[in-house]
Amino acid sequence: MYDLLLKNGRVIDPYNNLDKIADIAISNGLIEKVQEHIDEKALHVIDVSGCHVTPGLIDFHTHIYPLAEIGVLGEATYFPSGVTTAVDAGSSGAGTFEGHRGALNSTKLTVKSFLNISSGGLATGSYLENLNPKQFNRDKIKKLFRKYSHELIGLKVRQGAEIVGELGLEPLRETIKLAEELGVRVMVHCSNPPSAMAELVDLLRPGDILSHAYQSKASTILDQEGIIIPEVRNAKERGVIFDVAHANVHFSHQVASKAFEQGLLPDTISTDLTVRSLYKRPAVMTMLHVMSKFIAMGLTLDQVIRATTQRPAALLGLEQELGSLSAGTAADIAVLRLLDSETEFGDCDGDIIYGSQQFRAMITVKEGELVFRDVEI
């Protein structure tokens, strides 16, 4: 007898090239089988007809409390949105990570972290981090990566002109040098860059992450005619990851729509959620609201699901484990409805686009446990 049986859903699993009506059987926290018409009994059987059943969603760029003062509460924020894994994008630095990691380990939500190159990270929203490379605590950072290699996945540096000032791109250069020694990725906040975007992206290595890739402040991924600049094309071709990291102020419909028309789609669709944007209309709201926007902007359902499951899981080195519905993997599952609903979507420039569909989470399963269930199912 299975513990849980989800029946008659449209199973969408990009990793396994699966898109069909099927049942999913779960026992002992693991997916036992995915197939049509599973007839064996289960302790709990839920008919999910009319729903999309996907791997648990992954928000690849967020800020979790208490790592950041402006962070969101992990389980309360994400389980009602079908998210089972979140990636904290540099809320903590070398001076704060160990003090807060216990909070991450006591939650059922899986959380991986980019370590902020600045020792204080984003502990407070009252002032900006110190990005003078002379103040980087390289020895402590190396120690933390040795000690917490399963929790820390890379280094984060914010390259906004208002943050780095006259330091220009030097914080990024020094962060990349340290990342080379550690063998990890760099995630760079590129909104309002202190240089031409071309110069910034030229520094990035395959696997590094250009976060807020579709931002509109100062230099962008487009030239003045709206054409993708060659350096950005080259970065994409050599394997730089383009991350949405929407936030209230880091995503432009105009930049994104022109980039999409030219084939430059995001690798990962993420929120950059904080308490400043959570449940605030019309820009971010939730993970599902951001995903719905990309449906409205013309991405296919498969593209949106892939960018919130398989692709971020692959960047975590857990493509099959967290980004698929393969038998034998942890039963992290999202059950979603794509409802017909007229919806407004905002951006950093105050522009509004309109969509006709909205994702809604019906069930979230984390390691085989029902951690969220809508009253209508």
What are the structural domains, with CATH classification, of the chain? 2-54+326-338+359-373 (2.30.40.10), 56-323 (3.20.20.140)
Report strand pairing: 2-13 vs 52-55: parallel
For residue 161, what pLDDT is reported? 97
Token pair in block for residue 167: 């330091």
Each as own residue / partner, the long-range contacts of residues 142-149 (CB below 8 Å, 24 or more positions apart, any chain) are 142/181, 142/182, 144/94, 144/97, 144/98, 144/115, 145/115, 145/182, 145/184, 148/97, 148/101
Per the annotation, binding residues are 61, 63, 156, 189, 212, 272
For residue 271, what pLDDT is reported? 98
Cβ atoms of 261 and 297 within 8 Å: the answer is no
Rounded Cα distance, 232 and 269, in Å: 18
For residue 105, what pLDDT is reported? 86
pTM over 0.95: yes
Per the annotation, binding residues for Zn(2+) are 61, 63, 156, 189, 212, 272
For residue 72, what pLDDT is reported? 97
Rounded Cα distance, 183 and 152, in Å: 12
For residue 5, what pLDDT is reported? 99
Q: Residues with Cβ < 8 Å from 266, sequence gap 6 or more? A: 213, 214, 242, 243, 244, 294, 307
Average pLDDT, 10 consecutive residues per value, the chain (377 residues): 98 98 99 96 98 99 94 97 99 96 92 98 89 98 98 98 97 99 99 98 99 98 98 99 97 98 99 96 94 98 99 98 98 98 95 97 99 97
